[in-house]
Amino acid sequence: MSITKRVEEIEKQYIELYDQNIVQLADKSTLEVNSHRDKSFKNFQKLGIPSDRDEDYKYTNIQPFLRGTFEFNFVHQNIEAQLDDVFKCEVSELESYSVFIINGWYSEKNQIAGNLPDGVYFGSLAEAFKKHPKLIDKYYGRASKIERDGFTALNGMFAQDGVFIYIPKNVVLDRPLQIVNILTGDSDNVVFQRNLVVMEENSQAKILVCDHTLTPSKFVVNSVTEVFAAESVVLDHYTLQNQHNLTTQVAGVFVEQKSSSTVMTNNLTLHAGISRNNIYYKLDGEHCESYLYGLYVTDKNQHVDNFSFIDHAKPNCTSTELFKGVLDDRATGAFTGRVLVRKDSQNTNAYQSNNNILLNDLARISTRPQLEIYADDVKCSHGATVGQLDDEAMFYLRSRGISEEESRVLLMYAFAYEVIDKITVEPLKEQIRDLVEKRFRGEFDKCDFCVVCAEADSKMLNCF
Amino acid sequence: MLEIKNLHASIDEKEILRGINLKVKPGEIHAIMGPNGSGKSTLASVLTGNEKFKVLEGEVFFNGKDLLELPPEDRAREGVFLSFQYPIEIPGVSMVNFMRTALNEHRKYRGEEPLSASAFLKLLREKKKLVEIDSKLTNRSVNEGFSGGEKKKNEIFQMAMLEPKLAILDETDSGLDIDALRIVANGVNKLKRADNAVIMITHYQRLLDYIVPDFVHVLYQGRIVKSAGKELALELEEKGYDWIKKELEE
C-alpha cells in the first residue's frame, strides 16, 4: 500500500509520516535496527532538514526539491512486473554478480548468476534482518552520522531495505558486485535505500553501483551506505550516477577502516538533477590507505555537490582525494574536502585536489578545502583550480586539422581521464570511458546504462 | 603556392607585423631570420590562424585560397603545417589517438575514407622510422614529459604523418643538441619534395648547414628588410644584425 502525501512543511510532515507508519516501518527490522530508527528520529527532530544556512550544506539547498506531492512506499510494492526488460540483461557470469533495486527495494526477481564463494552474502537487507540478525546488529548504524546530518537521520528513520553484503575472512571475490538502482513509476516518489557492506579481515571486493531513472516522474532519493573494512581489506566502491533532471538525490557513504586496509570510492556523476554525495571516512587503524575520487559532468540546471570528510583517527595513514568537474550551461557545483587529523595521528599523509573546468560564463563551482590538523608531524596538501579549456592546447590540436568541436571533446576527455584511469575493473573502465566520451560529444542518452552486460548492450532497458 | 601581401597584425593592440610581403613557390625552402622580437613567430602564428593575433591589413593566398578566411583546422587540411617553437603538452590525449584523429580529419576533408586501424599503425611505424623517433614516444600522451629534443622530433614526426604542402618550422633548432638537430634536419630533408615548400624560422646559421635554403629573408621590426640567397645567412652569422639596422637608418 502506498501513501500519497503533500509535503509543504517538510519536517512536520516527515515527522507525521513517521508517527503514523512506525508500526509498518519497524515490522521487519531487528530490535537494534529499530532502536537506531528511534535514535534517528530524535536526532531528526533536533537537526531537521539541512538548508543552505547549515555550513555543511552551504552551497546546496535541497529543501525546495522536497516540497510537492509524493508517493511513499513503506511496504514492498511489486512493480517488477512492468520491468521485464530489466531482467533480460543477462549479466555474464564472467563479468559480475548483479542485483536490481527498484525504488529502494530489493527486487524479488533477482537471481544472481553464478556461484558466490561460500559464506558470502549478497542480497536483500530486509532479508538479512531475518537471516543474519547478529551481523546486522553488530554493524547497522555504527558508521553513519545521524547526530551530524539531518538527511542521514531521516534515512535511519525510514529505510527498510537495500543491499547487504558480507564477505568472510580471506575471501577474494573473483568478479565485481553490481548493484543497479532503478527509479521508476508514474507518480512522484520518495525513496529511501539502505546498504550495508561488511568485509572481514583480509577480504577483497569491488562494488559497482549504477543509479538510473526509467520514468519521467520526480524522484527524491535518500540513500545511506555503510562500509566496514576490517584489517587488510581491499575494497573498490564505484558509483555511477545517470539520473534525469527531475531527480534529487542525497547519497551518503560512510566508511570505517581498520588497520592496513585500503578503500577506494569513486563517484562518477554523468547526469543528475540535484545530487549531493556525502562521503565520510574514518581511518580507525594504522596504515590505512583511502582513495576518494570523483568526476562530475554537468550542464543545463544540474547541481552536483560532493562533500567529503576524512577522519584520520589513527597514525600512519594516507588519504588521497581527487575530484574533477566539467560544468556547462547554468550548471552549478560544490566541493568540500574536510580533513581532520587528530592529535595522536602522527605521520599522516593527506592529499587533496579539486579541479574544475567551466565551459560557460554562467556555470559556477564553489570549492573549499577544510583542513583541521591537531598532530604536528603530518604531510597535508590541498589544491583547487577553476579554469577554462586551455587556448594554447586548443590551437595546437586545431593546427593539426582537428575541428574545434573535436578538439574540445579531446581536451575535456583528457581532463576527465585522470579520474577514469583510477578504475581498476577493466570492462567497467571501458564502459565509463565510452559513456564519458559520448557525454562530451553531446550524444549521451539518459538511457545509456552503466551496467556491464554480457552482450555489452548498454541500452537494454526501455526508457521513456 | 603562398603569397603574402602587405600583412599587418597585432597582439594586445600592439602592431607586430607591419607590412610583410613574401612569395613561396613549390619546391622552395625559405629561411626567415631576424633579431628577437622582430615578428618571426608572430608571422608563423598568423599564417596558421592563432586567434590571439589580429590581422589588421593585407592578404594571404595559399594555392589560390584566401588563407585568412579559414579557421586553423581548415588551413591545416589545406596543407599548412606549423612546427611549434614550444609544443604543447596535452596530458590524457594519447599520441596515437591524436594523430589518428588528425589524419582522418584530413582525409575526410579530401573526401577520402578514414584509414583502418591496421593501415594507420603501419603508416605510424613507417613514419616513425623515417624521422627516427623513439617508438615509445607514440605510446604516451601528447608531448607529456617529453624532453625539449623529443618534443621537436615529435613535431617533425607529425609533419611526416600529415604530409603538408607548406611546413613552417618555428625555431625548430633552438635548444637542440647537435645529434637531435641532425635527426630533425634529416627528417625535414627526407620529407622534401618538388611539390612542397618549407619556411624555416631561425636565429642561427647552424640549421641552415643541414637544411639548405634557397632564400634567406631578414625580418626586422615587422617587415622583411632584406632578401637574398643562402650566403646572407653566413653574413648574418658573422656580422650580426647591426649592419642591417645601420643600412636601414641610412
Size of interface A-B (CB pairs under 8 A): 79
> Distances in Å between the alpha carbon of A201 and those of A283, A288, A430?
15, 13, 31
Cβ of B88 and A399 within 8 Å? no
Comparing CB atoms, the residue among B73, B87, B92 nearest residue A398 is B73
Cβ of B76 and A401 within 8 Å? yes
Comparing CB atoms, the residue among B52, B101, B141 nearest residue A402 is B101
Q: State the pLDDT at residue A80.
A: 63
Cβ of A395 and B51 within 8 Å? yes
Comparing CB atoms, the residue among B87, B92, B105 nearest residue A403 is B105
- The C-alpha cell of B88 is what? 604543447
Q: Minimal CA–CA distance to B76: which of B31, B117, B110?
A: B110
Q: Can you tell me the distance from the alpha carbon of A141 to that of A156, in angstroms, rounded to the nearest whole number?
A: 8
Contacts of A389 in chain B (CB under 8 A): none
Comparing CB atoms, the residue among B77, B93, B162 nearest residue A414 is B93
Cβ of B88 and A417 within 8 Å? no
Contacts of A392 in chain B (CB under 8 A): 88
Cβ of B90 and A404 within 8 Å? no
Collect the ranges in chain B with pLDDT lower than 50: none
Instruction: Using a CB–CB cutoff of 8 Å, tell me whether A395 touches chain B.
Output: yes
Instruction: Using a CB–CB cutoff of 8 Å, tell me whether A300 touches chain B.
Output: no
Cβ of A406 and B88 within 8 Å? no
Cβ of B92 and A417 within 8 Å? yes
Strand ranges of the sheet holding B215-220, from the earlier edge strand across to the other edge:
B80-83, B166-170, B197-201, B29-33, B215-220, B223-228
For chain A, the structural domain boundaries read 1-47+78-262+276-284+439-464
Contacts of A411 in chain B (CB under 8 A): 90, 93
For chain B, the structural domain boundaries read 1-45+53-76+195-237, 82-161
For residue A290, what are the contacts with CB-CB under 8 A and spacing of at least 6?
A255, A257, A262, A263, A264, A281, A283, A310, A317, A318, A319, A320
Sheet strands (E) in A243-358: 247-257, 262-271, 274-283, 289-298, 303-312, 318-327, 332-341, 348-358
Contacts of A396 in chain B (CB under 8 A): 84, 87-88, 90, 142
Cell numbers 586539422 label which residue?
A401
DSSP state of B178: H
- The C-alpha cell of A149 is what? 546530518
Query: Domain B1-45+53-76+195-237 falls in which CATH fold?
Result: Rossmann fold (3.40.50)
Comparing CB atoms, the residue among B72, B101, B142 nearest residue A406 is B101
Instruction: Using a CB–CB cutoff of 8 Å, tell me whether A413 touches chain B.
Output: yes
Q: State the pLDDT at residue B246.
A: 85
DSSP H helical ranges for A310-425:
391-398, 404-420
Contacts of B115 in chain A (CB under 8 A): none
Do the beta carbons of residue A255 and residue A227 sit within 8 Å? Answer: yes
Q: Can you tell me the distance from the alpha carbon of B208 to that of B173, in angstroms, rounded to the nearest whole number?
A: 10
Q: What interface predicted TM-score (ipTM) does this complex get?
A: 0.95
Q: State the pLDDT at residue A92.
A: 45
Q: Can you tell me the distance from the alpha carbon of A245 to that of B213, in angstroms, rounded to the nearest whole number?
A: 62
Q: Which of B70, B73, B168 to mutate to test the interface with A (most CBs of A within 10 A)?
A: B73
Contacts of A400 in chain B (CB under 8 A): 76, 98, 102, 158, 162
Mean pLDDT by runs of 10 across the 464 residues of chain A is 89 96 95 97 97 94 95 84 55 69 91 87 97 97 97 98 98 93 92 98 96 92 98 97 94 98 96 96 98 96 97 98 96 97 97 96 95 96 94 96 95 93 86 86 70 46 51
Tell me which H or E stretch contains A13: helix A10-26
Phi, psi at A330, each rounded to 5°? -105, 20
Contacts of A399 in chain B (CB under 8 A): 48-50, 72-73, 75-76, 81-82, 84
- The C-alpha cell of A261 is what? 586496509
Do the beta carbons of residue A286 and residue A314 sit within 8 Å? Answer: yes
Q: Minimal CA–CA distance to B6: which of B17, B25, B22, B19?
A: B19
Rounded to a whole number, what is the distance in Å from the CA of B88 to chain A's nearest CA? 6
Q: Can you tell me the distance from the alpha carbon of A291 to that of A263, in angstroms, rounded to the nearest whole number?
A: 6
Instruction: Using a CB–CB cutoff of 8 Å, tell me whether A396 touches chain B.
Output: yes
